[in-house]
């Protein structure tokens, strides 16, 4: 016997007690199905953003829409709260409007497919997946206009509609959607691939039900949620105190010259619940850097951090959500009012992770990570090639991973789970460009006992005229270090023209003309350092000098005197470290680098670009 009857719930499923072995089998079967969803998608999509980089997020939920396995939090709750239609066996829902699902997806490029899984006339589970489409129309190629002032400028905006009705494809819906895209074949292929991944999940759920029975499956999913709830309840009680802890960080600018924009969060515990309050976050922007923060999504971010730090064996799911309360002020950068633009929300999304890590680590600095998520650098390149065919690239770049309690941050790596780079060979084959440099940007990682990961220096040579857009951050406010670690280097972008001229570009620019022979230097930020850099092994620093990760001058940040070959002068190193220790004060938990006035002066001196100015509403005292 795998189960015994306990009760019958309102949907007619019998509540049964599932033995541990059966529960373990069902849990791992669902984990495997979630991996199979990814495999199906990546093997059948066409766009490099999904096929090569993995910019898509799957989940399988129980019958009420609570995620059991997934990656980015549950999308289904926000959909169900806003959806007033009927659902039938064979229906597949498509939507991409963040305002129609409480921000469960946060900009229009993310196409969300939701599939109810029926058995014997009842919804027994849900499958869902969203993926970032290369283009959905709008005012710029890539559909991510920096200067958009409303969501109506950001391309296709679709409320929940039935892409499939009782198993039948609604061709008109697909025609309308693909008609908006500059890359209709990619859109069509990617969307069908997302649907196929959800069908795989439905198939696997039905196989589990065939093996164990529907009542056992439903009871098992309920127990997986309850087990997560019990575990998180203990973790929250142990790790979160009743005293309030606050942290704030900044998005550098809005692409229109305004900034920086503050994100602030305060955390405390009341009984069994933890409160995360974003009061003090700046008002929404007039540009597209707003991030409609779905509360359940942020709860998942919080839960993943807690689980990875304290008990990685716990299954990520939605079971603990009633233990977390998220408060986001209306009209703020994180809950903008309709129809605020949202397309470039990635900078705020990335900064949320830095803020969350700082909040949860302040009372236990030994577990604290430095800043390093910071943003998700985008490059768009498009035009007509020499044969007259339209080409369009959407590529996500990576920065440095922060220094961590357990060691150095990796160089040039993504913090998004499962993301990979677009291979240079792919770029050179499909687009008129050459990648002349792809290497670690020496010294860009913050110095520390554990070094922050370096950013990446990519150099693109354009082989045909076209246009580019760049979306990045951390070019003004650097990623901070912790526990004595130093801040990381900021990002920068520069074009060396074929005619010999050169110009620095801002981190958020659209419609920049490029010509055959032009070089784009695309350099991302590093991760902040962790711990006292004067405690780092000099031999390791010398090895990194030899590898090109740290320069000879950069080694002096660690108090290490070394030659270009990596040979360390031990006596000179000891003398330099003694001098540096004597000239500094007490090491703080955070090192944010220079103040804003100094940052402005440094920024303008380094690049010739004007530093961001304070938004008008700040001058009025609205913050």
Q: How far apart are CA 126 and CA 477, in angstroms?
A: 42
Name the 3-class secondary structure at 323.
helix
For residue range 240-266, list pLDDT tens digits in order. Answer: 999 999 999 999 999 999 999 999 999
Distance CA 194, CA 128 (A): 9
Helix H, strand E, coil C: the string for 226-284 is HHHHHHHHHHHHHHCCCCCEEEEEEECCCCCCECCEEEEEEEEEECCEEEEECCCCCEC
Which stretches in the chain have pLDDT values below 50? Answer: 1-7, 621-623
DSSP-derived secondary structure letter, 193 = H
CA 129, CA 125: separation in Å to the nearest integer?
14
Distances (CA, A) of 519 to 498, 509, 537: 8, 16, 38
Provide the pLDDT for residue 10: 52
**Helix intervals (H) in 116-255:** 171-180, 184-212, 214-239
Task: Report yes or no: 316 and 307 within 8 Å, Cβ to Cβ.
Answer: yes
CA atoms of 334 and 298, how far apart (whole Å): 11
Per-residue model confidence (pLDDT) at position 621: 46
Q: Residue 15 and residue 9: Cα distance in Å, rounded? A: 7
Nearest to 444 by CA among 522, 369, 539: 522
The neighbour count for residue 498, using CB atoms within 10 Å, is 14
- Among residues 177, 145, 135, the alpha carbon closest in space to that of 394 is found at 135
- Please answer whether residues 539 and 568 qualify as being in contact, where contact means their C-beta atoms are separated by less than 8 angstroms: yes
> What are the C-alpha distances in Å from 231 to residues 34, 314, 386?
22, 7, 60
Strands 273-277 and 324-327, by their bridges, are: parallel
Residues 6+ apart with CB under 8 A from 305: 356, 357, 360
Q: Residue 214 gets which letter from DSSP? A: H
Sequence-distant (≥ 6) Cβ neighbours of residue 110 within 8 angstroms: 96, 130, 131, 132, 133
Q: What is the pTM of this model?
A: 0.93
Among 131, 267, 134, which residue's Cα sits nearest to residue 193? 131
Q: What is the pLDDT of residues 381-390, one digit of tens each?
A: 999 998 999 9
DSSP string, 15-62: EEEEPHHHHHHHHHHHHHHHHHHHHHHHHH--SHHHHTT--EEEEEEE
| pLDDT of amino acid 2 | 40
Query: Which 3-state string (H, E, C) describes 553-564?
Result: CHHHHHCCCECC
What φ, ψ does residue 268 adopt, rounded to 5°?
A: -160, 170
pLDDT score for 1: 33
Residue 404 gets which letter from DSSP? B
Helix (H, G, I), strand (E, B) or coil at 65: coil
In angstroms, what CA-CA distances link 351 with 249, 377, 472, 473, 569? 7, 13, 12, 10, 40
List the one residue out of 62, 379, 369, 106 whose CA is nearest residue 225.
Answer: 62
Contact assessment for residue 478 and residue 524, using Cβ atoms and an 8 Å cutoff: no
Dihedral of the CA atoms 354, 358, 364, 366 (nearest 10)? 50
**Which residues does 74 contact at the CB level (< 8 Å), separation at least 6?**
59, 61, 65, 66, 67, 104, 296, 297, 300, 318
Burial 563-596 (b: 16+ CB within 10 A, else e): eeebebeeeebeebbeeeeeeeeeeeebbbbeee
* Contact of 383 with 391, CB cutoff 8 Å: yes
DSSP-assigned letter for residue 316: P
Would you state the pLDDT for residue 623? 39
Q: What is the largest CA-CA distance in the chain?
A: 79
């Amino acid at each position: 016997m795998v189960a015994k009857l306990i009760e019958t719930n309102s949907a007619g499923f019998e509540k049964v007690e599932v033995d541990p072995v059966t529960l373990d089998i069902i849990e791992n079967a669902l984990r495997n199905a979630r991996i199979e969803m990814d495999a199906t998608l990546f093997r059948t999509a066409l766009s490099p953003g999904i096929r090569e980089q993995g910019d898509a997020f799957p989940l399988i939920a129980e019958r009420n829409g609570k995620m059991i396995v997934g990656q980015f939090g549950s999308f289904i709750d926000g959909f169900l709260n806003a959806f007033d239609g009927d659902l039938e066996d064979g229906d597949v829902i498509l939507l991409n409007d963040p305002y129609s699902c409480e921000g469960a997806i946060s900009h229009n490029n993310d196409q969300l497919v939701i599939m109810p899984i029926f058995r014997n006339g009842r919804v027994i589970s849900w499958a869902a997946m969203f993926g970032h489409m290369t283009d959905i129309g709008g005012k710029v190629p890539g559909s991510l206009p920096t200067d958009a002032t409303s969501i109506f400028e950001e391309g296709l905006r679709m409320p929940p509609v039935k892409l499939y009705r009782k198993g039948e494809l609604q061709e008109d819906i697909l025609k309308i959607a693909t008609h908006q895209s500059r890359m209709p074949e990619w859109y069509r292929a990617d969307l069908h691939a997302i649907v196929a991944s959800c069908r795989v999940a439905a198939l696997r759920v039905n196989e589990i039900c065939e093996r164990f029975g529907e009542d056992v499956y439903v009871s098992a999913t309920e127990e997986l949620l309850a087990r997560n709830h019990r575990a998180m309840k203990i973790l929250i009680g142990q790790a979160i105190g009743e005293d309030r802890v606050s942290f704030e960080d900044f998005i550098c600018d809005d692409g229109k010259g305004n900034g920086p924009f503050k994100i602030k969060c305060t955390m405390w515990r009341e009984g069994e619940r933890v409160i995360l309050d974003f009061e003090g976050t700046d008002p929404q922007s007039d540009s597209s850097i707003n991030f409609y923060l779905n509360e359940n999504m942020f709860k998942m971010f919080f839960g993943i951090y807690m689980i990875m730090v304290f008990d990685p064996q716990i299954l990520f799911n939605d079971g603990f959500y009633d233990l977390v309360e998220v408060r986001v002020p209306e009209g703020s950068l994180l809950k903008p009012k309709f129809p605020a633009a949202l397309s470039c929300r990635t900078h705020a999304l990335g900064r949320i992770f830095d803020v969350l890590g700082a909040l949860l680590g302040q009372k236990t600095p030994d577990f604290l990570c430095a800043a390093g998520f910071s943003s998700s650098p985008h490059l768009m390149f498009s035009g007509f090639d020499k044969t007259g065919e339209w080409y369009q690239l959407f590529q996500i770049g990576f920065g440095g991973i922060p220094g961590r309690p357990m060691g150095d941050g990796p160089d040039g790596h993504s913090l998004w789970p499962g993301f990979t780079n677009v291979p240079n060979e792919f770029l050179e084959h499909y687009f008129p460009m050459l990648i002349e440099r792809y290497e670690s940007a020496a010294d860009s990682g913050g110095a520390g006992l554990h070094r922050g990961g370096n950013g990446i220096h990519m150099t693109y040579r354009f082989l045909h005229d076209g246009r580019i857009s760049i979306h990045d951050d951390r070019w003004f406010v650097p990623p901070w270090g912790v526990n004595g670690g130093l801040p990381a280097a900021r990002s920068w972008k520069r074009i060396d023209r074929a005619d010999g001229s050169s110009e620095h570009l801002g981190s958020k620019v659209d419609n920049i003309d490029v010509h055959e022979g032009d070089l784009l230097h695309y350099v991302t930020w590093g991760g902040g350092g962790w711990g006292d850099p004067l405690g780092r092994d000099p031999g390791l620093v010398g090895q990194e000098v030899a590898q090109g990760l740290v320069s000879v001058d950069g080694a002096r940040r660690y108090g290490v005197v070394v030659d270009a070959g990596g040979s360390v002068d031990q006596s000179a190193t000891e003398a330099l470290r003694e001098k540096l220790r004597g000239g500094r004060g007490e090491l703080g938990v955070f090192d944010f680098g220079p103040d804003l006035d100094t940052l402005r002066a440094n920024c303008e001196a380094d690049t010739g670009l004007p530093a961001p100015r304070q938004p008008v509403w700040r001058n009025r005292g609205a913050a």
